[in-house]
Amino acid sequence: MNAHEPKTMDHLLDELTSAVLENQRLAGLFTSDEAAQILPFLGLIRHLRQAYRPRRANRRFAARLQRDLMGRDYTVMERVRYLPPQVQIAACLAIVGTVLVLLRGRSVLAGQALGQIVTPVEAAS
């Protein structure tokens, strides 16, 4: 573009946005005529920059997805680790509950078995 040719508004707004995104000093970048045209948009562009921030994917999610894409097998520990937290809690509760029930069942059975033990003397009488 010729230096003396007036810049279009499309071009000015593009330059202003690039300067804002790159944290450049804006004073001196534009002529006074150009500044008068773009000034009404400056606040909006700065607010958009504040509102839109690059976000990173959760590392755990990214690693799990990469593993899925690559088709690698999971170890048992990884399978458990990558379950949703609610499922992990539910699984833990189920395991603990099952163990408790089994222990209780064993002790009841053991108690019954003790009650059924017949000594040789009792048997003879």
Partner 1 sequence: MIDLRLNRREKRPRRPPYRKLEDLELVDLARAGDKQAFGELYERYVDRIYSYVLYRTGTAADAEDLTARVFFRAMEHIAGYTERGVPFQAWLYRIAHNLVANYHRDRGRRKIIPLDEYMTGSAPADQPEVLAEDREERDALMAAVRALPEERQLLLTLKFVDQLSNAEIGEIMGRTEGAVKSLYHRTLLALRDTLEDVHPTLLADMSREKLS
Which of 3, 40, 86, 122 binds partner 1 (CB under 8 A)? It is 40
Residues 88-107 that bind partner 1 (CB under 8 A): none
Report the site for partner 1 in 65-84 (rule: CB under 8 A): 65-66, 68-71
Stretch that binds partner 1, among 19-27, 73-81, 90-98, 104-112 (CB under 8 A): 19-27
Q: 73's torsion region: left (phi>0), alpha (psi -120 to 50) or beta? A: beta
Cβ contacts of 34 within 8 Å, gap of 6 or more: 7, 12
By the 8 A CB rule, do 26 and 19 touch? yes
Smallest gap from residue 45 Cβ to partner 1 (A)? 7
* Residue 17 sits in the site that holds partner 1 (CB under 8 A): yes
Exposure letters 80-116 (e unless 16+ CB within 10 A, then b): eebeeeeeeeeeeeeeeeeeeeeeeeeeeeeeeeeee
Q: Give the separation between CA 104 and CA 96, rounded to whole angstroms.
A: 12
Does 55 engage in binding with partner 1 (CB under 8 A)?
A: yes
The residue (of 4 and 25) whose beta carbon lies closer to partner 1 is 25
Residues that bind partner 1 (CB under 8 A): 9-11, 13-14, 17, 21, 25-27, 29-30, 35, 39-58, 61-62, 65-66, 68-71
